[in-house]
Amino acid sequence: MEKKVLIIAYYFPPCNLPAAQRAWAWAKYLKASGWHPVIITRRWDHKINTAADGYRSTPNEIVHEINEEFEVYRLPYIANLRDSIYVQHGEERKTGIRKVLTFAEVLLQGFFTSVLPYKNLFAFALEYARKNKPDACIVSGNPFVTFKAGYQIYKQFGMPWVADYRDAWTTTEINFINRSAIYKLINSLEQYFEKRWIRTATKVTASSAPIAKGIERLTGTPAVALYNGFIAADFDGIGNEKFEEFTVTYVGTIYYGQKIEIFCEAFKQLILQTPGIKAKLLLPGMMYYKEQHERINRIMQGYEQYVECTPRMDRQKILEIEKKSHLLLHVAWDEQSGIIASKIYEYLASGTPILVTPTDRGSIEEIVQSSGCGTCTTTIEETLDFIQQEYLRYSKGEIRRNDTTAPGVLQFSRQEQVKRLAELLNSLPSR
């Protein structure tokens, strides 16, 4: 007999942010393992082209959709004062009042979800659980405050629930980079709520093993890794032709804890040492992140003709770029082994060789090595040597492609990860 699982996920299609893909894969594939997914999410009526688009109010009606694989409830998003100021005045104006309002929201949200623009999610989830009595519940964070919904459902109905982390919450070290004492104080408050809520969960899933271990140490709740993965069919219909220029592509944003300077210095040396070079560093979507876009411009000053940064693009266009590139670049976090950007899985599915520099000597390196899809370097010299070899192949007309049907690659498919999730759900105690 088919069981029902309630999935509370703030990010869900048609949201065009990468975070929406995790819960969507569960919704799409859990049915094959005997679970009927019911998703509760917010409405995403506005395509996310700028940061402000995610803070616009939506129509006030609840949308209920049912299809063969899952059903979904889309709840209205009612912008609060902070959101409205941001949408109306943009990122550069009214920053003082927005910071005050954001601080108040972060400070109060653990106590009073009524301060949130998606406060309706909590009451709706409780009412759905009361009326429909699902067999289990999954809450996917972030926003991590949504874990309170799982806590409330457990307290009222004794329902087993799984806390799913796309990223670490208070156990991450990267959040303390360039942060103030006030931030650290808030982190301590949030850690109180994390321990309180997650200790009622039956299981924790996390996007990497190091994140899972850190959460288990903090809360005592058993935790396992559940990777994001890829869907091979996403690349169906995309041809095998490559860009005319030797193209190295980096997808997504970049943070100060990621030393992209190592690759950029090697790339500049390749340009200087190769007369008549036809090469490009392509960063689709980087213009969306103003501060990091300016950082790239500073690093590559004097080499502007070899760099292209673009505004945010549709995901399908990004997939085409990934497949047409000669190399896909990933920059791991410095001395942080558990941070796995979801794009690394798309890289695997594209068939394009991957370069990780610098490596994390951890989760990213393990994925690349176990899949056989790429190379990891640490220094400028190692990186230069590798891209020189790749450019030589390019100049000879050689095209390298990874075997995307190899077992080492398929282990990271979303279908395989959902099978693992189904096994975990089957192991939960019955109500």
Residue 10 CB neighbour total at 10 angstroms? 23
**In whole angstroms, what is the distance from residue 233 CA to residue 149 CA?**
34
Which two tokens mark 34? 């005997």
Percentage of the chain beyond pLDDT 70 is 97
Instruction: Name the token pair of 159.
Output: 């329902």
User: Selecting from 1.10.3720.10, 3.40.50.2000, 3.40.50.300, 3.40.1280.10, what CATH number does the domain 3-229+413-427 have?
Assistant: 3.40.50.2000
Least Cα distance to 282 among 246, 320, 309, 315 occurs for 309
Residues 6+ apart with CB under 8 A from 245: 278, 279, 280
Instruction: Please list, in sequence order, all residues whose beta carbon lies within 8 angstroms of the beta carbon of residue 185, skipping any fewer than 6 positions away.
Output: none
Q: Write down the mean pLDDT value for the chain.
A: 92
- pLDDT value at residue 177: 52
pLDDT band at 162 (very low <50, low <70, confident <90, very high): very high
Q: Which pTM was predicted?
A: 0.85
Say if CB 56 and CB 15 are below 8 A apart.
no
Task: Please tell me the distance from the alpha carbon of residue 324 to that of residue 316, in angstroms, as a whole number.
Answer: 13
Residue 304: how many CB atoms within 10 A of its CB?
9
CA distance linking residue 76 with residue 63, whole number of Å: 9
Rounded CA-CA distance 191/411 in Å is: 33
Closest of 5, 32, 405, 367 to residue 203, by C-alpha: 5
pLDDT of 363:
87
Q: Which is nearest to 394 in space by CA: 280, 263, 317, 235?
A: 280
- pLDDT score recorded for residue 422: 97
Same fold, 3-229+413-427 and 232-410: yes
Q: What are the tens digits of pLDDT across the range 365-413?
A: 999 999 999 999 999 999 999 999 999 999 999 999 999 999 999 999 9
Please state the domain extents for the chain: 3-229+413-427, 232-410
Query: Higher confidence at residue 88 or residue 127?
Result: 127
User: What is the pLDDT confidence band of residue 175, given thresholds at 50, 70 and 90?
Assistant: low
CATH number at 232-410:
3.40.50.2000
Would you put residue 275 in left (φ > 0), alpha (ψ -120 to 50) or beta?
beta
